[in-house]
Amino acid sequence: MARRSLWLHPAAKPLLFLLCLAPLAWLIAAAATDRLGANPAEALIRGLGDWSLRGLCLTLTVTPLRVLSGQPALARFRRMLGLFSFFYASLHLLAYGWLDMGLELGDIGRDILKRPFILMGFVAWLLLLPLALTSFNRAIKALGAARWQRLHRAVYVLSLIALAHFIWMRAGKNNFAEPALYGAILGLLLGWRLWRAWERRKA
């Protein structure tokens, strides 16, 4: 009972909220104290993108962790993790548009079409947008549970697109170690879901 009550504790969600904000606080502090390296704009843009991808991985981890641990209360954290993933993805896009492109919309549009890895990242953000906008109880009621679930299954596709964006970006510097790690994590998380769906069909 002690473990179960831990997830239902009133402080659990506020603590998770603060933990999700911690990477942003660190990036801001590092930028303010000139600790982001030789190219702080690039470090900030990439740092925000990294935390968006990590947020997606954490969001997708909630369901298998809930099922395997027998702790249904873990589901209450999934929405917040998903919204923070969108939050960091939006800051990532904003930082790119501002720090790289000077908020010149025409230049941003041409750059998105010219560079495939940026196009992949933009598509992933576009797919995240309706999920974030419909993540609230009123949207679930308006759409109906079945339609809402079908819409939110887009997270599986967009997580692969986000991974492709990350791999493509790192490929320019022949750095595949970190993308391989995220690929393995997403492969396990999505593979577990495919296995469960297969098991349910056989049952």
Give the start-to-end residue ranges of the domains of the chain: 2-202
**H-helix or E-strand containing 162?**
helix 154-171
State what percent of residues in the chain have pLDDT above 90: 76
Q: What is the DSSP letter of 100?
A: I
Quick one: 165 exposed, middle or buried, by C-beta within 10 A (0-12, 13-18, 19+)?
A: buried
Tell me the pTM.
Answer: 0.92
Q: How many CA atoms lie within 13 A of 71 on its CB side?
A: 19
Quickly state the pLDDT bin for 2 (edges 50, 70, 90).
Answer: very low
Contact 8/73 with Cβ under 8 angstroms? yes
* Confidence tier at 40 by pLDDT (50, 70, 90): very high
| 171: confidence class by pLDDT, cuts 50, 70, 90 | confident
pLDDT at 1: 43
Per-residue model confidence (pLDDT) at position 106 = 94
Give me 147's structure tokens: 């339609």
**Tens of pLDDT along 94-121?**
999 999 999 999 999 999 999 999 999 9
| pLDDT > 70 fraction of the chain, expressed in percent and rounded | 96
